[in-house]
C-alpha cells in the first residue's frame, strides 16, 4: 500500500509536511517545546520530556512493526558505527547544552514563537550544519566508519523474532511511565 508512494515524490512531500505539522502540534501540546520544561528535565525535576519520548517509542515501535507485519511498510535500517555515533552524540550534546533544544523541539519552539529558539537555535543549527558539511570529508576518512557494525538490529543480533524484543521493551517502558507518573515526576 505505502510502496505506491515511492514513485510519487510530490505526495511524499505533502504527507511528510502534514505528519510534521501533527508531530509539532503534539510536541507543543506535550509541553516539550517550552524551555522551562526542557530545563526541568535536565535538572531531573520535571520528567515530561522523558514521558513524551517513551510514549512515542512504544507507539512507534509497535505501530511500525504492525504495519510491517501487514506488508504495508518495510524497514530500512541504516548502517552504523561507533565513530559516527560518537560524533553525532557530540554535536547533539553541544547544541542541546548551549541552547536547551534538540532539533525537533527547536522547530516546535520556533513554531510557537519562542524568540530564543528562532534567533539562537536556528542560527546555531545552520552554523552547526555548515561546520559539519565543511568537516565531513575529513570526519569520514578519520572517524565516521570506525567500529562499523553495519545494518544490525537487536532481533538480528539475538537471532529471535522481533516481537520477542518489542513486547518486553514495551511492557518495561510502560511500567517506567507508570512509575514516573505515580512518583509525581
Task: Examine the domain organization and report whether 25 and 70 are in the same domain.
Answer: yes
The pLDDT, as a whole number, for residue 3 is 62
Angle at CA of residue 134, ends 130 and 137, nearest 5°: 140
Asked if residue 103 and residue 49 are part of one domain, the reply reads: no
Residue 13 shares a structural domain with residue 41: yes
Predicted pLDDT at 6: 66
Number of structural domains the chain divides into:
2
Looking at the structure, tell me whether residues 82 and 140 fall in a common domain. Answer: yes
Taking CA atoms, 71 is separated from 12, 19, 61, 161, in Å, by 19, 21, 15, 16
What range does the domain containing 183 cover? 1-74+153-185
pLDDT for the residue 151: 82
CA 63 to chain centre: 16
If asked whether residues 158 and 145 sit together in one domain, one would say: no
94 and 61 within one domain: no
Q: Spell out, as residue ranges, where the chain has pLDDT lower than 70.
A: 1-7
Are 56 and 143 part of one and the same domain?
no
Q: Can you give the pLDDT at residue 20?
A: 85
Q: Are residues 127 and 180 in the same domain?
A: no
Statement to judge: residues 15 and 70 lie in one domain: yes
Q: Are residues 13 and 51 in the same domain?
A: yes
Query: Measured on CA atoms in the order 145, 147, 148, 152, is the torsion positive or negative?
Result: negative
- In this structure, are 64 and 44 located in the same domain? yes
pLDDT of residue 133: 93
- pLDDT tens across 103-114, in order? 888 888 888 888
Residues 85 and 174 occupy one common structural domain:
no
Q: Which cell numbers in the block locate residue 12?
A: 511524499
Amino acid at each position: 500500500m505505502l510502496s505506491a508512494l515511492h514513485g510519487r515524490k510530490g505526495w511524499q512531500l505533502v504527507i511528510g509536511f502534514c505528519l510534521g505539522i501533527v508531530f509539532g502540534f503534539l510536541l507543543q501540546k506535550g509541553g516539550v517545546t517550552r524551555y522551562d520544561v526542557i530545563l526541568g528535565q535536565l535538572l531531573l525535576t520535571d520528567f515530561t520530556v522523558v514521558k513524551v519520548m517513551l510514549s512515542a517509542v512504544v507507539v512507534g515501535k509497535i505501530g511500525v512493526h504492525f504495519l510491517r507485519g501487514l506488508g504495508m511498510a518495510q524497514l530500512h535500517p541504516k548502517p552504523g558505527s561507533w565513530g559516527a555515533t560518537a560524533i553525532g552524540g557530540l554535536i547533539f550534546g553541544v547544541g542541546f547544552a548551549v541552547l536547551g533544544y534538540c532539533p525537533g523541539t527547536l522547530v516546535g519552539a520556533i513554531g510557537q514563537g519562542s524568540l530564543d529558539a528562532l534567533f539562537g537555535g536556528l542560527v546555531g543549527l545552520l552554523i552547526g550544519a555548515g561546520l559539519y558539511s565543511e568537516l565531513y570529508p575529513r570526519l569520514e576518512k578519520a572517524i565516521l566508519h570506525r567500529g562499523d557494525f553495519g545494518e544490525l538490529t537487536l532481533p538480528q543480533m539475538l537471532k529471535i523474532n522481533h516481537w520477542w524484543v518489542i513486547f518486553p521493551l514495551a511492557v518495561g517502558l510502560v511500567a517506567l511511565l507508570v512509575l514516573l507518573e505515580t512518583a509525581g515526576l
